[in-house]
Chain A
Amino acid sequence: MSEIPGDLKFLKSHEWARAEDDGLVRVGISDHAQGQLGDLVYVELPEIGSAVKAGTGAAVVESVKAASDIYSPVSGEVVEVNELLNDKPETINEDAYGEGWIFLVRPSDRAELDELLDANEYEELVENDDH
């Protein structure tokens, strides 16, 4: 499993959030999650301009095995989506923390970021998951 980047925050449901320099929050799923899901074959992206709410479904990823809701870690407005995933959903399998990001949010309440797990806490959660 790849190293978890220290600047990421996580939901228990395995989504990551990265606070960018411009104040926006990038969202994806963890490397652990992509491994559990297996080969991804379809990503249903949110619409640009749509409102998302922390802890509720914003996107759907489908692997060969199953469909999974992707929760937004923060509330706000979707300002960009990763169009690359329309043709290459497997990018999430290959690079979950980088090229495989899913959408970008302009957060309405940055304090929500403080409620997320940090990288160490998430790593602990995943380790407990595995045993």
Chain B
Amino acid sequence: MTEKTVLNATHRALGARMVDFGGWDMPINYGSQIEEHHAVRRDAGMFDVSHMTVIDLHGARTREFLRHLLANSVDKLKVTGKALYSCMLNEQGGVIDDLIVYFFDEAHFRLVVNASTRVKDLAWIERQAQAFGVEVKERPDFAMIAVQGPGARAKVLGLLHEVDRARIEKLGKFAAAAAQGPHGMPLFVARTGYTGEDGFEIIVPNEHAVALWEALATSGVAPAGLGARDTLRLEAGMNLYGQDMDETVSPWEANLGWTIALDEGRAFIGRAALEQQKATGVPRVMVGLVLDDKGVLRHGQKVLTANGEGEILSGSFAPTLNKAVAFARIPAGVAGDVRVDIRGREVPVRLVKYPFVRDGKPCEGI
């Protein structure tokens, strides 16, 4: 049974091409994926991301529970509304999922996890939460709209109740706050995203989602599908769960070392495995590739290096760069000249540091 977000009819009325995405009937584009990509880079676009799973955690020991559950340190969250990106690991140090955790108060945190991992995440979190007496409550009553691009914040601010505008305008990156939207609807506005552009991700009660979407459209925010979301996040150097990492991959091998907090005395799940991997080194690394020639890098293509073979994880044509880029996992060590097997042809590619694009512009060396 395919699930539908509360905006499904809105997408269809806009003529969206719908696809199955992790069991959800979602818009891949509304016409041209490339134009939607550019709309986000140049001004403002919006994505229905209501398929993502919102989970509220309640209980006096919630922070203690999250210290145990997450590889990043929830103790970095000191101020109400502050958000943190983290991996949730298994005992072997493999990535069960990546997520964002929001801090409301000591007895209430919120997680936003991926749609495709919903069932296993909930089962894992509930199992781990028992020992801490933490209540795990999924919030299917919420929809979520990501508004992204250099013009995104101004367009959202214009829709907020005037008493909230100055406060939301001052919201720092990776921070969130409640605000009143059109007709007084209650919004949870977070300055986060998955595109490499500034903007907000807005959690809104289902019954107000269509009105919010329409108000945003009237303000000049372009609807954008999950296709554009994928090329935007790839250009921005952001991992996609299931493609760039999974339970067989350690964060060290997925360029997520920056999200691991080996703070003293915190026994989080997977820590022992991570420390051992850190000491011995991991056999594979994740790198960025650029194809200057014609062609497109794709998931699953073979990567040939001086140290042996690797493979393309996320790969696509990058509309901002007008050429193909990819993440690849290759053997650690000096890679030498790197080539990719595209339909039996060995094509030379450049190994680069990513992100490929930041704030609308190609990064240096791309």
Contacts and interface: CB of A to CB of B under 8 A. Distances in A.
Interface in A27-80: 35, 38-39, 41-42, 44, 60, 62, 64-67
B362 to A, nearest CB: 17
B298 interface: yes
Contact of A64 (B17, B319, B343): B319
Contacts of B319: 64
Contact of B34 (A62, A64, A66): A64
Interface stretch (B25-33, B169-177, B255-263, B306-314): B25-33
B90 interface: no
Contact of A62 (B28, B29, B32, B296): B296
A68 B319 CA distance: 19
A42 to B, nearest CB: 6
Q: How large is the interface on A (under 10, 10 to 19, 20 to 34, 35 or more residues)?
A: 10 to 19
Given A38-B227, A41-B317, A67 B298 contact: yes
A39 B294 contact: no
Interface string B22-46: 0000001100111000000000000
A39 B295 contact: no
Contacts of B317: 41-42, 62, 64
B38 to A, nearest CB: 11
B44 to A, nearest CB: 20
A39 B296 CA distance: 13
A38 B316 CA distance: 13
Given A64-B317, A64-B319, A65-B227, A41 B33 contact: no
A62 B227 contact: no
A38 B28 contact: yes
Q: How large is the interface on B (under 10, 10 to 19, 20 to 34, 35 or more residues)?
A: 10 to 19
B62 interface: no
B250 interface: no
Contacts of B32: 38-39, 93
Contacts, number: 38
B296 A38 contact: no
A41 B324 CA distance: 10
A65 B230 CA distance: 10
Contacts of B298: 66-67
A64 B33 contact: yes
Nearest to A62: B296
B192 interface: no
A9 to B, nearest CB: 27
A57 B304 CA distance: 26
Interface of B: 17, 28-29, 32-34, 227, 231, 294-296, 298, 316-317, 319, 343
Interface of A: 35, 38-39, 41-42, 44, 60, 62, 64-67, 86, 93
13 contacts: A38-B33, A42-B294, A42-B296, A44-B295, A62-B295, A62-B317, A64-B33, A64-B34, A64-B316, A64-B317, A64-B319, A65-B33, A66-B298
Given A38-B17, A65-B33, 20 more contacts: A35-B17, A38-B28, A38-B227, A39-B32, A39-B34, A41-B296, A42-B294, A42-B295, A44-B295, A60-B343, A62-B295, A64-B34, A64-B227, A64-B317, A64-B319, A65-B28, A65-B227, A66-B298, A67-B343, A93-B32
